[in-house]
Amino acid sequence: MILFETRNRITNPVEEISPFMRDVIEGLRKTPKELPCKYFYDERGSILFTQICQIAEYYITRTEIRLLEQILPEVADLIGENATIVEYGSGEGRKIRNLLHSLPNPKAYVPIDISAEILLDSARKLRKEFPTLALYPQVADYSSPVSLPTAVTEHDSGKRVVFFPGSTLSNFSPAEANAFFCNLHSFLRPCDGLLLGADLIKSPNRLHQAYNDYDGVTAEFNLNILQRINRELRGNFKLHQFEHYAFFNPVLSRIEMHLISLIDQTVKIGPHHFSFSQGETIHTENSYKFSLDSITRLGQNCGFSHLRAWTDGEKLFSIHYLQAV
């Protein structure tokens, strides 16, 4: 049986605007303008991100999958039997299958994702593949505190392990990453674990290619957030009047993604108007890059002991296992 939960609060649209509208208005009133990257992932955005993971320039997904496959026996030994796996940003569930197959008798799986369609579809497929596994899908924004279902907290006998692959941590600012780690630690018990993927600092040219692919899939993914605003918030963005722009900021050790206005223009979103000058940008995403030591320090700041780190042969990507203390 799949228990499907959502953290979305029911509101009266006459009395209160949606969180999406509120965040868009607040972001576009800032200087410089910005939009939260979590809104990339409507159904179309999730499909485009899956395509990004398959392009030649984007090394992250294939490198992580190969590395995870190599280390699964060691990971399974660290996690042990009857584990409850909580996955943040579960998406289509490709990586979790390998992990669940490697574990001795996993007891429960709690996938958490902001996209309800992708989440429920993945949960249904997993239910057929793992008929004895208890599934508790949750639609939620994992950048905010997330609590575990009561059925998990009352009956889990093995370790709780948070699985956070794909270097999604890189989208958080340093302060947000610290808050995220501390929130995880708050519902983990001593000896529970965190299995984390983190993209490593590398050649700026290699990073530039990964976020500016030849076929323009990343550009389409970036621009899709404007299309979503048009569709869901009655916006009138003209996508051909904005252009994808991504670059590596070596001082802050992060890729920055922007949308550049190609002309002076005014955009309407519902009753709100926003002026853009030619060359003005909307900052849509950061992707921080890490060293092995920076992950260790981040965990220690919030009560984790860093047990293991693995990297691929080119040292492009890393996977870490941290333990709550």
Q: For the residues 27-54, what does the mean pLDDT come to? A: 94
Mean pLDDT lowest for which of 38-47, 111-120, 221-230? 111-120
Tell whether the model's pLDDT for residue 60 goes beyond 60: yes
Tell whether the model's pLDDT for residue 9 goes beyond 80: no
Whether residue 80 lies inside any domain: the answer is yes
In eight-state DSSP terms, residue 9 is P
Name the token pair of 189.
């018990």
Mean pLDDT lowest for which of 14-28, 64-78, 241-255, 311-325? 14-28
Whether residue 317 lies inside any domain: the answer is yes
Whether residue 191 lies inside any domain: the answer is yes
Q: For the residues 139-143, what does the mean pLDDT come to? A: 80
Whether residue 300 lies inside any domain: the answer is yes
Q: For the residues 30-39, what does the mean pLDDT come to? A: 96
Q: For the residues 39-66, what does the mean pLDDT come to? A: 94
pLDDT score for 242: 98
Helix (H/G/I), strand (E/B), else coil: 260: strand
Summarize pLDDT for 100-110 with one digit per residue, the tens: 999 999 999 99
Helices and strands (H and E) in the chain: how many: 10, 15
**Host domain of residue 79:** 60-202+291-324
pLDDT score for 16: 72
Whether residue 315 lies inside any domain: the answer is yes
* CATH code of the domain in which 122 resides: 3.40.50.150
Summarize pLDDT for 187-243 with one digit per residue, the tens: 899 999 999 999 999 999 999 999 999 999 999 999 999 999 999 999 999 999 999
Let me know the angle formed at the C-alpha of 195 by 125 and 292, rounded to the nearest 5 degrees.
Answer: 140
Residue type (1 letter), 312: D
pTM across the whole model = 0.88
Whether residue 6 lies inside any domain: the answer is no
Summarize pLDDT for 150-191 with one digit per residue, the tens: 888 887 889 999 999 988 899 999 999 999 999 999 989 999
Of 305 and 187, which is predicted with more confidence?
Answer: 305
Whether residue 77 lies inside any domain: the answer is yes
Q: Shortest CA distance to 90 belongs to which of 58, 66, 124, 131?
A: 124
Tell whether the model's pLDDT for residue 15 goes beyond 60: no
Number of compact structural domains in the chain: 1
Whether residue 122 lies inside any domain: the answer is yes
